Amino acid sequence: MIRDLRPGSVTRTLAEAFARELATLYERLGETYDSAFLETGTGGSLEVLIDELCPRRPWWWRLFGRG
């Protein structure tokens, strides 16, 4: 069993790297989850949501900043 958790050990370095990557993954998953709702969606994800909810918007609305 690997129990060497002293600073600088291979086991601790791997555990810290794994923890950082897992935190990044959870952050990205949270952003993906938030982008699925109108209140929290931003940018391109909000455009996709609006396009799915209001497919009958005229194409020229985008030219005038309405969509």
Tell me the HSE value of 47 on the side-chain side, using a 13 A CA sphere.
8
More confident residue, 1 or 49: 49
What are the pLDDT digits (tens) for 14-45?
A: 999 999 999 999 999 998 898 888 888 888 88
Q: Is 46 exposed, middle or buried (0-12, 13-18, 19+ CB in 10 A)?
A: middle
Q: Say whether pTM exceeds 0.85.
A: no
Cβ count near 34 (within 10 Å): 13
